[in-house]
Structure 1
Amino acid sequence: MTKAEKIKNTIRETKERRKTLVPTVCQLKLQNLSRKKEELLKRAFLEAKWLYNWLVADLGRLDLPTNEVNEVEVKVGEVFEKRELNVLGSQVKQEIADRLKDNLRALARLKESGHRVGRLKFKKFVNSIPLKQYGVTYSLDFGRNRVRIQKLGDFRVLGLHQIPSDGEIANAVLVWKPSGYYVHVTCYLPEEYFCYPYKLGRAVGVDSGVNPKLTLSNGIRIDFEVSETPRLKKLQKRLARAEKGSRNREKIRRLLRREYEKLNNRRRDAQNKVLAFLRLYGVVVFQEDCVKGWEALFGRQVHSSGIGGLMTRLRDSLATPVSVGRFEPTSQECFACGKRHRLSLSDRTIECDCGWKCDRNLNAALVILRKGLGLGPDRAVGLDRPELTPLERKAAARILGSNPYIRVSFLL
């Protein structure tokens, strides 16, 4: 058996084994960086930018053995100067070329789908370096809390306790953020790690909107919003007045990136809390809403909450998600009898001739739950009297109440 055949067999076996595992990403932060280490990391990201732009300038260079490239041409003003690649490892160079090939394939797929696409542009800066091979491009030392990166050396990291001993470690990415340097490690874990010892209920329906953001079929309303801070607005004004190309402008841009990172972390934490609460249910039913269409009228509320990202994570992160079609009538359909009503955005309650009267969002969540379970109005026995149990109230207070940007209310 040749070496290529052995590699193919190993890849095939790995894919089969990982079908039963769940991928997750653990974030490790590099700690106690000396000035020499920081300069080394900055040089690595600079060389990654040089190599990427050198390949973009002439895509025919992708046929060359990128791992053997030790010198590239960089445009400085109107002339080209040669720069040596002293910090990047050979495997990392090849992975940067593979990333460029993946970008080209993505553009080709978009073009085939009818989208208008242009050519790849040069990067002003690179903030991530792929580390695909565990044990070659990077390795972890759990005893000393350290990570070793090819040609960059050892770094002390914070967060290795997130990776269990029986986890299968895969690729990683070295990321440069305004708050520091991180290593995002992908590991595959058994499904047992994501199973909770108890469940709040068998199934719950989720109706998404602008205000409130989420309404559950048991009567819980969840609203969250992280607005722009006064500091962010002040920095934006300073950036508009700064001279283009000046050092002061670059300094303000770094401060802006740091402020945006803080806002994104707060929104991400709110999403994590909501997902942690919904994982306590056996089945979560939601509707595939077009969140992008809401931006025309409610752009600021949609952007400040990140509701679109939350709906995507509902579909990808939950163990048993059930989706209802985007064009299924839920808000204007009576839960009790299935009759449709014409409601405007100002109508917050639904009243039906059958005697059903309910909050508009709660009715939509109940309809979503019924349709997700495949039940008709005549078969939805037991769903017409949802009860909010004391256990659900305690769980909502414990999980959702720990975030100051989440507001919880109860309709029942």
Structure 2
Amino acid sequence: MVVLEFKVKGNKTQYAAIDDAIRTGQFVRNKCLRYWMDNKGVGQKDLYRHNTWLRSEFAFVKDLNSHACQASVERAYNSISRFYNNCKKQIPGKKGYPKFKKFSRSVEYKTSGWKLSPDTKSISFIDKKGIGKLKLKGTWELWRYDQKLIKRVRLVRRADGYYVQFCVKVDIKESLDPSHTNVGLDVGLKEFYTDSKGNTESNPRFYRKGEKRLKFYQRRVSRKKKGSANRKKAINRLGRTHLKISRQREEHAKRLARCVIRSNDLVAYEDLRVKNLVKNHCLAKSINDAGWYQFREWLEYFGQKFGRVTVAVNPAYTSQNCSNCGEVVNKSLSTRTHVCKCGCRLDRDHNAAKNILTRALSTVGHTGTLLNARGDLSSTLFGSDLKGQDESLNRESPSF
């Protein structure tokens, strides 16, 4: 599965119709959640029946395509099933009880309710919401794919405009010649990553660099009168600035991950729990700014696409153990040089990257596949301290 994204061009009436469709999808999802809360033991079929009742009761719901309403029901049930799964697995902390959506940004159509033009330069939405024909702006070659392979179409609202995403069911695998090299990666805050060969990639710190501008636009928002048109404009300008920073971070992670995967047969990295790391309030902003999890997601995506092996290893003691003799050399975060009594003297991150690669190479190949929490296939390597890595169906266009 691959997702191709285009920006759409229309008039103000069409944009208002898109907003109405998004609000309707949000209404259906929230109503289904309320129905589940009020009725014990409700399943997905019962939610579909409740959706049918909503369409008969509310005219504005009936105006939205029936498949789009079903997609909103599926979104509600996905949040419910995820909550049940977390309870069954007895994960620590909050279990993710379903919440009502207050600000939705997308509505999803299935195989009906829309029609693509023969030249794939425009798309028409043919339900009663009045969206009509929208021009597509983008560089993806949509004409290469059979329209029967398009399983979902999403309308997405962002700070800088409206977008349409096509979910195409195609094989995204490509073959590459073996590079006969392996690499271990240690991510950090000083350098974005250091590999087992001693090479480093600088940390761009996009949020830190744009923080001054963000504060400027945030002050402009706070000075405007609540509910005024000028405040809405200031909020939109602030949102566009945030969007630019997030896109910079995403493109940086994508570019690096693609280069690393194409250059190595095996890529090893730490199985970090970023959600737990950001609980350290002294480092939370810098960790989020680095985008380690995005980088890992793209490594796993390109690994699956190009047929490379990606291994997530247990990060425990990768910085403390000596990569030469295996002796434990305790050091604090402020100690940036690893010095061992065996004579090994390396940069701390370089030493950790070599340990990460050693752990990955100590495994005995693939032993099967399993499903991760999101339902994607994950290749799993044998080893007591290794976690499965994703075969994610992520997109090469920005997320919604």
Question: What's the TM-score once normalised by structure 1's chain length?
Answer: 0.72
Deviations 1:313-353 (A, max 9, x none): 334442321121132x2112222222221122222222223
Match for residue 345 of structure 1?
333
Aligned residue for 2:64, secondary structure, equals: coil
Q: Residues 253 and 295 of structure 2 are in contact (CA less than 8 Å); yes or no, is this contact kept in structure 1? A: yes
Aligned to 2:171: 190
Q: 1:123 is paired with a residue of what secondary structure?
A: coil
* Amino acid in the other structure paired with 1:291: V
Residue number among 84, 103, 109 corresponding to 1:108 in the alignment: 84
Residue 299 of structure 1: which of 281, 284, 290 is its match? Answer: 284
1:357 to partner: Cα distance: 1.9
Aligned AA (1:261): L
Residue aligning to 1:208 = 187
Farther off after superposition, 283-292 or 104-113 = 104-113
Partner amino acid for 1:287? E
Aligned residues: 338
Match of 1:174 in 2: 155
- Report the CA distance between 1:215 and its aligned residue: 0.5
CA deviation after TM superposition for structure 1 residue 248, in Å: 4.5
Identify the residue that residue 406 of structure 1 maps to in structure 2.
none
Indicate the residue corresponding to 1:46 in structure 2. Answer: 23
Identity, % of aligned pairs? 23
Deviation of 1:106 (Å) = 1.9
Q: Which of 101, 108, 133 matches 1:130?
A: 108
Give distance in 1, aligned partners of 2:84 and 2:227. Answer: 34
Say yes or no: does 1:273 pair with 2:255.
Answer: yes
- What SS class does the counterpart of residue 129 from structure 1 fall into? strand
Q: What displacement does 1:243 show?
A: 4.9
- CA deviations 1:98-128 (Å, max 9, x no partner) are 2212222222333443544586444333211
Distance, in Å, in 2 between the alignment partners of 1:166 and 1:52 is 31
Go from structure 1 to structure 2 and tell me whether the alpha carbon gap of 1:233 and 1:342 turns closer, same or farther (over 3 Å shift). same
Secondary structure of the structure 2 residue equivalent to 1:232: helix
2:199 equivalent to 1:255: no
Aligned match of 1:230: 212
1:191 deviates by 4.8
Which residue in 2 is equivalent to 1:17? Answer: none
Q: Which protein has the larger Cα radius of gyration, Structure 1 or Structure 2?
A: 1
Q: Which amino acid aligns with 1:368?
A: I
Most deviating of 157-166 and 93-102: 157-166
2-structure distance, mates of 1:71, 1:246: 37
- Write out per-residue CA displacement over residues 131-190 of structure 1, whole angstroms, 9 at most, x where no aligned residue: 232xx2334345242223342433221236344735743323221111111122222433
Confirm or deny: 8 A CA contact 2:183 2:195 kept in the other structure: yes
Secondary structure class of the residue paired with 1:148: strand
For the residues of structure 2 that align with 1:243 and 1:110, how far apart are their CA atoms?
43
Partner of 2:324: 336
Structure 1 pair 118–260 and aligned structure 2 pair: CA distance change class (3 A) = same
1:142–1:160 Cα contact (<8 Å) kept: no
The 3-state SS of whatever aligns with 1:176 is strand
Distance in structure 1 (CA, Å) of the matches to 2:50 and 2:99: 22
RMSD of aligned Cα (Å):
2.9
For structure 2, the residue ranges without an aligned partner over 5 or more in a row are 40-45, 364-400
1:325 counterpart = 2:306: no
How big is each residue's C-alpha offset from its partner over 1:166-219, in whole Å with a ceiling of 9 and x where there is no partner?
574332322111111112222243354x334x5655211101112112001122
Partner of 2:361: 373
Which residue among 24, 37, 40 is the counterpart of 2:2? 24
Is there any run of 5+ residues in structure 1 with no aligned partner, and where? 1-22, 74-82, 376-412
Moved more, 345-354 or 260-269: 345-354
Alignment partner, residue 362 of structure 1: 350
Question: Could you tell me whether the CA contact under 8 Å between 1:72 and 1:84 is conserved in 2?
Answer: no
Distance apart, 1:221 and its partner CA: 0.7
Query: How far apart, CA to CA, are the structure 1 residues paired with 2:102 and 2:329?
Result: 54
Distance change (3 Å), C-alpha of 1:72 and 1:213 = farther
Residue 311 of structure 1 aligns to a residue whose secondary structure is helix
Q: Secondary structure at the match of 2:265?
A: strand
Are the counterparts in 2 of residues 46 and 126 from structure 1 also a CA contact under 8 Å? yes
TM-score, normalization by structure 2 = 0.74
How far apart, in 1, do the equivalents of 2:258 and 2:97 lie? 41
Worse-matched range after superposition: 223-232 or 279-288: 223-232
Q: Does 1:308 align with 2:293?
A: yes
1:37 is aligned with what amino acid? Answer: Q
Establish whether residue 154 from structure 1 lines up as the match of residue 130 from structure 2: no
- 1:90 is displaced (CA, Å) by 1.7
Aligned letter for 2:144? Answer: S
Corresponding residue number in structure 1 for 2:266: 283
CA contact (8 A) 1:302 1:308 kept: no
